[in-house]
Chain A
Amino acid sequence: MSTPADNAPAAHSAGAEESRPSLAALLLDPSFWADWASVVGLVGLVIVFGIAQPVFLSVANLQALLLAAAILVVLSIGQTFVIATSGIDLSLAAAVMLGAIILGLVNAAGYGIFIACVLAVLATSVVGFLNGLIITAGKIPDFVVTLGTLSGITGLGLILSGGEPTMVGSTFLLRLASGSLGPFGYPVWVAIAAVIVAHIALYHTRFGVHLLATGGQAESAGALGIRTDRVKIAAYTISGLCAGIAAILLVARIGSAEPQINTSLLLNSVAAVVLGGVSLFGGRASILGPAIGALMLTALVNGLTLLNVSAFYQPLAVGAIVVLAALIMRYQK
């Protein structure tokens, strides 16, 4: 089946680019659905929730949804860079906690909110850097190292904070959390900026290609002179950086730094990456996919809440969707 609309882009690009498969062939290909699982899932959820509970589609609710998704979007970007190298960052949510605590303590010590934010991001980036360094220099599996870091920095956070939450009464953070520019709140703009920068880094720089090569076949990449260890360390450092940004957004959102790990942030960051069509074996990644995956998970929780489904059912629903997505991934090319 070919319509003029289908032909137009093909004819336009015929000179420079090879022709793309037709729309009909695309829709029949299971790998298309696997690649776009998060988009299809998000659209499906929006339709279902929109019919079941029209409030879901109200501007106020959609704005709240985006606001709630911002932290997860930023975290899943960090997780994407690590998973693209065929690693996994289990210390991500613990790093967010550490960043939040450092932010709270530095602010409480009277150094000002700006320095507090910078130190928080610096601390989480160092955590990421150390993860990468230990994994590559020690040749230890990513899973083991980041599991150790998860525990280690949880302990560090508890020691630093004495187990007590720290109130952060900052007008800057208050404005960050509640202010908005145009249709979106500032945290949403932060997430959008993170998506754009990460997308450019992944698709339009040498680092991005080397990242995917390292995740795809590290040995081959090394044979061509790519310093795969450095690439891996960079990926973990980016993950740490994202944890720091998420920590700032989190403290701004709840107004205090809690010595508590939000484990669902970690699990959902991995889930968003899987939903986004990123291969857990590395070498294949996108930024938009995980970002939409994060939106989808947030929409799921938001919709279930609006439908008065007990919060106890929400992890069950998230789990079912992630496993379903993983099954669809089997059809990826």
Chain B
Amino acid sequence: MSAPHHIPAAEAIIACEGLSKHFGGIRAFTDVAFQARRGEVTAVIGDNGAGKSTLIRSLVGVHQPDAGNLFFDGRARPFANPDEARKAGIETVHQNLALIDELTVAQNLFLNREIVRRIGPFAFLDRKAMKREARSMLSRLSINMPSVNQRVRRLSGGQRQAISICRAVGSGAKLVVMDEPTAALGVQETANVEALIRRLREQSVSVILVSHNFDQVRRLSDQIWVMRAGKMAATVRASETSGNELVALVTGAA
């Protein structure tokens, strides 16, 4: 088993050591050390039940780890809930995308972050400003959208994923966490979302990517962390590994 690379803390946007989480008698993961470098795409892979989703959720405040230390942006930061993590600068692209079907693209992009104009004690939505900002957010990431007034319900799976990612990035997040962003998508849509993630990498957005797809992970990420049976089994540079090596690491055949 290869030991995790040692990376100076300043380069890590998020890092943890000795992190453990169990639910009753079931151990989700034990004594995990992990870090993601600033401006890189960091992938976490592993078999079903290896603990990767629970690890990610423990990083962003959905779960509270039972033991261990968590550092974000150079400071020790355990998050009591997702809202705290969000305020600190971690945006999560949820597996269910957290989009509201009946609201428009612009409304979804600014949900709970609406731009308002104050008139006396009252705050009114500045819908024009939100639509304008929404258009520029989408064009910065070259996302094609027929109209920001479109209800999200009528969009394809890939477009919905793009909006969810756009919202995460557009909030000025320091770290964007994506859990299986292409799991439910077709071939063409997967390619579109992968292109979008590549653009994020070009713009030096720090990303954590959870995925099942080894080829995708090698295409998109800089550093790959492998989980197996609740432990961090290995970490490798994406440029220095092969699909076969990853399969071996995930299954424990290495």
Across the interface, B100 reaches (CB within 8 A) one of A18, A200, A204, A283, namely A283
Q: Are B99 and A217 in contact (CB under 8 A)?
A: yes
Across the interface, A223 reaches (CB within 8 A) one of B82, B102, B131, B147, namely B82
Q: List residues 211-245 of chain A with CB under 8 A from any CB of chain B.
A: 212-213, 215-217, 219-221, 223-226
The answer, yes or no, to whether B114 is at the interface (CB within 8 Å) is yes
Q: Which residues of A contact B148 (CB under 8 A)?
A: 18
**Residue from B102, B116, B127, B131 with most neighbouring chain A CB atoms (10 Å):** B102
Across the interface, B114 reaches (CB within 8 A) one of A203, A206, A215, namely A206
The answer, yes or no, to whether A264 is at the interface (CB within 8 Å) is no
The answer, yes or no, to whether A156 is at the interface (CB within 8 Å) is no
The answer, yes or no, to whether A209 is at the interface (CB within 8 Å) is yes
Across the interface, A18 reaches (CB within 8 A) one of B83, B116, B125, B149, namely B149
Closest to A200 in B: B124
Closest to B111 in A: A224
The answer, yes or no, to whether B98 is at the interface (CB within 8 Å) is yes
The answer, yes or no, to whether B52 is at the interface (CB within 8 Å) is no
CA distance A224 to B151 in the complex (A): 18
- Known pairs A213-B103, A216-B102; A223 contacts B124 (CB<8 A): no
CA distance A212 to B152 in the complex (A): 13
Q: Are B123 and A220 in contact (CB under 8 A)?
A: no
Q: Mark A193-212, 1 if CB is under 8 A from B, else 0.
A: 00000001001111011101
Shortest Cβ gap from B168 to chain A (Å): 11
Q: Are A283 and B112 in contact (CB under 8 A)?
A: no
Q: Which residues of A contact B131 (CB under 8 A)?
A: 16-17
Q: Mark A271-296, 1 if CB is under 8 A from B, else 0.
A: 00000000100011000000000000
Assign chain B's interface to a size class: 20 to 34
CA distance A208 to B92 in the complex (A): 24
Q: Are B128 and A209 in contact (CB under 8 A)?
A: no
Q: Are B123 and A206 in contact (CB under 8 A)?
A: yes
CA distance A221 to B128 in the complex (A): 22
The answer, yes or no, to whether B107 is at the interface (CB within 8 Å) is yes
Q: Mark A14-31, 1 if CB is under 8 A from B, else 0.
A: 001110000000000000
The answer, yes or no, to whether B97 is at the interface (CB within 8 Å) is yes
Q: Which residues of A contact B116 (CB under 8 A)?
A: 206
Q: List residues 121-138 of chain B with CB under 8 A from any CB of chain A.
A: 122-125, 127-128, 131-132
Q: Mark A292-321, 1 if CB is under 8 A from B, else 0.
A: 000000000000000000000000000000
Q: Mark B222-250, 1 if CB is under 8 A from A, else 0.
A: 00000000000000000000000000000
- Known pairs A209-B107, A333-B154; A221 contacts B114 (CB<8 A): no
Given A216-B100, A220-B97, A220-B99, 5 more pairs with CB closer than 8 A? A17-B131, A18-B147, A217-B99, A283-B101, A284-B102
Question: 22 interchain pairs (CB within 8 A)?
Answer: A16-B132, A204-B125, A206-B114, A209-B103, A209-B107, A213-B111, A215-B102, A216-B100, A216-B103, A217-B101, A220-B94, A220-B96, A220-B98, A221-B111, A221-B112, A223-B82, A223-B98, A224-B111, A225-B83, A279-B102, A333-B151, A333-B153
Closest 6 CB pairs of A and B: A283-B102, A220-B98, A18-B147, A216-B100, A223-B98, A216-B102
